[in-house]
Structure 1
Amino acid sequence: MSAGRTKVQLTEDEVAGLLGENLKVQVAANGHDGHPHLTTLFYVVREGKIAFWTYGRSQKILNLERDPRVTALVEDGVDYFELRGVSIEGRAEIVRDYETIFDIGSAVATRMLNAESFEALGDFGRETVEKQATKRVGVIIHPDKVASWDHRKMT
Structure 2
Amino acid sequence: MNQRARIAMSDDDVTAFLEGARKLQLATINPDGTPHLVTMFYGLDEGRIAFWTYGKAQKTRNLERDPRVSCLVEAGEEYAELRGVLLYGKAERVDDPEHVLAIGMEVARRTTPGVADELLRPYVEHTGRKRVAYVVERTKVVSWDHRRLT
Normalised by the shorter chain, which TM-score bucket? over 0.9
CA distance in 2, matches of 1:34, 1:107: 31
| Counterpart position of 1:139 | 134
Does structure 2 conserve the Cα–Cα contact (< 8 Å) formed by 1:115 and 1:121? no
| Counterpart position of 2:77 | 78
Where in structure 1 do 4 or more consecutive aligned residues deviate above 6 Å?
none
Structure 1: gaps (5+ residues): none
Structure 2 length as normaliser, TM-score?
Answer: 0.96
CA distance in 1, matches of 2:104, 2:7: 33
AA partner of residue 138 (structure 1): A
Q: How many residues align?
A: 150
| Counterpart position of 2:51 | 52
CA distance in 2, matches of 1:48, 1:111: 14
**TM-aligned CA deviation for residue 115 of structure 1:** 2.1
Structure 1 length as normaliser, TM-score?
Answer: 0.93
CA distance in 1, matches of 2:66, 2:121: 33
CA distance in 1, matches of 2:95, 2:117: 24
Does structure 2 conserve the Cα–Cα contact (< 8 Å) formed by 1:71 and 1:90? yes
Instruction: Give me the identity figure in percent.
Output: 47
What SS does the aligned partner of 1:103 have? helix
**Per-residue displacement from partner, 1:68-127 (whole Å, max 9, x unpaired)?**
1100000000000000000001101011221011000011111111026xxx143x4211
| Counterpart position of 1:11 | 10
What SS does the aligned partner of 2:49 have? strand
What SS does the aligned partner of 2:56 have? coil
AA partner of residue 81 (structure 2): E
Is 1:148 aligned to residue 148 of structure 2?
no
